[in-house]
A and B are shown apart, each in its own frame.
Chain A
Amino acid sequence: MALSTKNILGTKELTQSDILQILDTADSFKEISTRAIKKVPALRGKTIINLFFEPSTRTRTSFEIAGKRLSADVINISGSTSSTVKGENLIDTARNLEAMSPDILVVRHHCSGAAELLSQFVDSPIINAGDGSHEHPSQALLDLLTIRSHKGDLKGLKVAIVGDINHSRVARSNIRAMQTMGMKVRVVGPPPLIPVEVERLGVEVSHNLAEAIKDVDVIMVLRIQLERQNQGLLSSLREYSNYFCLTSETLAQAHDDVLIVHPGPVNRGIEIALDVMEGPRSLILNQVTNGVAIRMALFYLLLGENNANPN
């Protein structure tokens, strides 16, 4: 069964059956990464271009490894090496790349809507690897995969997303994906970091971390960025930590089996205490492992099961 969409621009476009199919496919791919020879010929002869206009190590590497484990040829182009530094516009860059017949474009860009814009000008399937503050669907999918593998079923789970919701594409993608899967989402942070009218997305809002995590199954901690202090959105990182750092004391308020996820990279001691990050409830490294499986699943499903062979 094919996905309902040709591109992966955001979780907003994904149906529940799309998400289940992606998660199931990813589960079946996990095993490949544990083999001595971590490679299957499924996408042999396919070309994947990673077009990254924003610095990224984890996501870019994850997409690259995912492509290579399926035997695709993966090319990385970063903002500083692309012609955009010579003034070429985003659409022209993508059209030029498309003229070389890639099978998938993976795009990360600092502007919200960049992936959707490109999808209007190129025919190749596009995977949005993060566009501004808008969406980062593969991250949300790997979060769901990680949560599902520990909780069994996603439906009915309660999640608290803590941090800079306003500037977070991870939060937006997760809110949509989790709601599609029947989960309940609460966003937690100081008011300047909560987007206006976010309640209209059907989420609860809290400004009290200890209260907000009492009844949840999952705590998702977001990275807090230093720039927010200069933008007047935060008084100081120190004060932010006083109220919103997930410490073992705060965590004592939550259920014993609560899961902790974080999209990384982590600011140790600012949004999450070191002992919590490395503690038994933290799934941060599982997420990274699952990220490869999710991206393999996306490549595989977008390029069609018919002309690919998972073994």
Chain B
Amino acid sequence: MQTLIKNGQVIDPANQIDGSFDILIDNGKISAIEPQGKISGSKLKEVPVIDAKNCVVAPGFCDMHVHFREPGHEYKETIETGCASAAAGGFSTVAVMPNTSPVNDNRSITELILSQAKKTNLVNVLPIGAITKGLKGETLSDMGELKEAGCIGYSDDGKPVMDSELMRRALEYSRMFDLPCIQHSEILDLTREGCMNEGIISTELGLKGMPVEAEDIMVFRDICLLPKTGGRLHVAHISSGGAVDLIRQAKAKGLPVTCEVAPHHFTLTEEACRNYDTNAKMSPPLRTHEDLELIKEGLRDGTIDIIATDHAPHDLADKQMEFSKACFGIVGLETALPLTLKMVDEKVITLQKAVDLLTHQPSRLFNLDKGSLGIGKDADIVIFNPKTQYTIEPEKFKSRSKNSPYKGWKVRGKILHTLVAGKTVYSADNK
């Protein structure tokens, strides 16, 4: 079974390719990548062709931070609806956080997730195992078993590991399995009952704030734990300008720390919480304009390693209520590309860098054999038109949940096809 992708602009940062190339897929793998019109052969006449004229052809995006709510909260999202949402957003690989119910802190849950993903057969689903059993922050999970079952990293995401000694042990022990610890950086003592960034807006709205120091202190603590433990720290969804600077300094010292940013933290500020819009309620919270600028600086100078969505689906029943009671989080998979392209428009990063942050870099960080269009690699490919303009309509999302603050935004950058192992898992033609 072959497919030919013609006439596109291929951007493959893993192989330093950027230009007009055709790609031949054979049996789910990349079998040839040649300058336009150069792929030939007698059999090619019958091969189905995808015309990628005016489009970018790139490795399928990899999102290292999503929440699919299965098992436990299937009314918000299932692995199937989550994968459909990923495919529609151009993602061929997603890493799912362990804060399901029950928590993914043991082999049986990891295997359940993998078997549901296999049944769905849309995108690659990589489980992340819990750092502590039940996300309780008390005892380490069986990290070895989790890795053997298929986990690609450890995190208590949604909650931080507050206990400093336990975090130290987690960084030490995870080293044995060469997988990173992903921290949701938040000192809970400082954010108790908080529901948005602390500042002028929280003061005006009369809402309890979550001060930015809560993030900075945790990032600093974890960095301090690195030299002796030798573990790898990946800071999830960085939102604070101060934290970006802490990571920049740590990297300069050669410490093994990396970080990700979610598109909402470079496109929105705390202003979005005015009118008590619960779709703008997330953790870490939307910060100030100054933080936003420092986040962009982190993208520009490479301090920020990858873009990850923190896709956090919530039903109306968990969002349509008093701001202080609503759940934290927004859906992100289906808006990631256009929001990232805003950074290209603003000349914060190049188009090539944008693709790199969504493909090669996440693969490299998590040692995945993904994010590359090299010969022989899985044909996980996204085709998008970076110029197509449209209005974001959450009600049309494939995700089961529609909690997005971007409703009505006019954006550009439309996913046309997503392929996983050569198979089309999303096509804009047949919605």
Contact count A vs B, C-beta below 8 Å: 62
Can you list 14 A-B contacts (CB < 8 A)?
Answer: A89-B321, A90-B321, A91-B320, A111-B325, A112-B206, A113-B322, A113-B323, A117-B276, A117-B322, A131-B206, A196-B202, A196-B209, A201-B203, A201-B204
- Smallest beta-carbon distance A128→chain B, Å: 11
Q: Which residue of B lies closest to A53 (CB)?
A: B322
Give chain A's interface secondary structure class: mixed
Q: Which residue of B lies closest to A133 (CB)?
A: B206
Interface size on A (CB < 8 Å)?
23
Interface, chain B (partner A; CB < 8 A): 198-200, 202-207, 209, 211, 275-276, 320-325
Q: How far is the CA of A198 from the CA of B206 in the complex (A)?
A: 11
List B contacts of A116 (CB < 8 A).
275-276
Interface residue A262 (Cβ < 8 Å from any Cβ of B): no
List B contacts of A91 (CB < 8 A).
320-321
- Smallest beta-carbon distance B317→chain A, Å: 8
CB-CB under 8 A for A196 and B198, given A91-B320, A113-B322, A132-B324: yes
Q: How far is the CA of A134 from the CA of B206 in the complex (A)?
A: 4
Q: How far is the CA of A90 from the CA of B199 in the complex (A)?
A: 28
Q: How far is the CA of A200 from the CA of B203 in the complex (A)?
A: 10
Out of B206, B321, B323, name the residue touching A172 (CB < 8 Å).
B206
Interface residue A169 (Cβ < 8 Å from any Cβ of B): yes
A196 touches B199 (CB 8 A): yes
Interface residue A197 (Cβ < 8 Å from any Cβ of B): yes
Q: How far is the CA of A198 from the CA of B345 in the complex (A)?
A: 35
B203 touches A195 (CB 8 A): yes
B203 touches A111 (CB 8 A): no
B324 touches A112 (CB 8 A): yes
Give A121-137 interface residues, CB cut-off 8 Å to B: 131-135
Q: How far is the CA of A116 from the CA of B205 in the complex (A)?
A: 11
List B contacts of A195 (CB < 8 A).
202-203
List A contacts of B207 (CB < 8 A).
112-113, 132-134
List B contacts of A209 (CB < 8 A).
none
List B contacts of A111 (CB < 8 A).
322-325
Q: Beyond A133-B207, A172-B204: 15 further Cβ-contacts under 8 Å?
A: A89-B321, A90-B321, A111-B322, A112-B207, A113-B323, A134-B206, A196-B199, A196-B209, A196-B211, A197-B199, A197-B200, A197-B203, A200-B203, A201-B203, A201-B204
List B contacts of A112 (CB < 8 A).
205-207, 276, 322-324
B206 touches A132 (CB 8 A): yes
Give A182-212 interface residues, CB cut-off 8 Å to B: 195-198, 200-201
Q: How far is the CA of A89 from the CA of B204 in the complex (A)?
A: 25
- Smallest beta-carbon distance A69→chain B, Å: 31
Q: How far is the CA of A37 from the CA of B352 in the complex (A)?
A: 80
A109 touches B200 (CB 8 A): no
CB-CB under 8 A for A134 and B205, given A116-B275, A116-B276, A197-B199: yes
Q: How far is the CA of A198 from the CA of B202 in the complex (A)?
A: 10
- Smallest beta-carbon distance B195→chain A, Å: 9
A109 touches B206 (CB 8 A): no
List A contacts of B323 (CB < 8 A).
111-113, 117
